[in-house]
């Protein structure tokens, strides 16, 4: 099983969903001033098509259970 990270998402960052689904979340905004912290993101399928724009979702343990940071690899 992949190691789970709880790094704070940043705007512009891509996060990959954990199996069994293959979706990308592109972080649009993170509000750490609110309690609990919230984020807005675009949920996209494996082709990059927009599935849903999510506004002000609570940044809780469910986020890290569902998504992992996308590690870009070159070469």
**26 pLDDT higher than 90:** yes
Residue 7 lies in a domain: no
Residue 22 lies in a domain: yes
Tell me how far the alpha carbon of residue 61 is from its chain's centroid.
12
Domain range for 38: 14-69
Residue 75 lies in a domain: no
**Between 44 and 3, the higher pLDDT residue:** 44
Q: What does pLDDT average to over the chain?
A: 89
pLDDT at 2: 47
* Number of domains, the chain: 1
**16 pLDDT higher than 70:** yes
pLDDT tens digits for range 40-55: 999 999 899 999 999 9
Which residues does 27 contact at the CB level (< 8 Å), separation at least 6? 9, 10, 11, 12, 13, 14, 15, 39, 40, 41
Residue 8 lies in a domain: no
Kindly report the backbone phi and psi dihedral angles of residue 15, in degrees, each rounded to the nearest multiple of 5, phi listed first. -125, 140
Residue 74 lies in a domain: no
pTM recorded for the entire structure: 0.84
Q: What is the dihedral of CA 48, 32, 10, 60, to 10 degrees?
A: -60
> What size, in residues, is the chain?
75
């Amino acid at each position: 099983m992949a190691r789970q990270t709880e790094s704070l998402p940043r705007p512009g960052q891509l996060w990959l969903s954990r199996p069994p689904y293959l979706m990308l979340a592109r972080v649009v905004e993170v509000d750490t001033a609110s309690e609990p912290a919230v984020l807005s993101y675009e949920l996209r399928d494996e082709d990059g098509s927009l599935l849903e724009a999510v506004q002000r979702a609570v940044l809780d343990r469910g986020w890290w259970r569902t998504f992992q940071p996308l590690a870009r690899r070159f070469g």
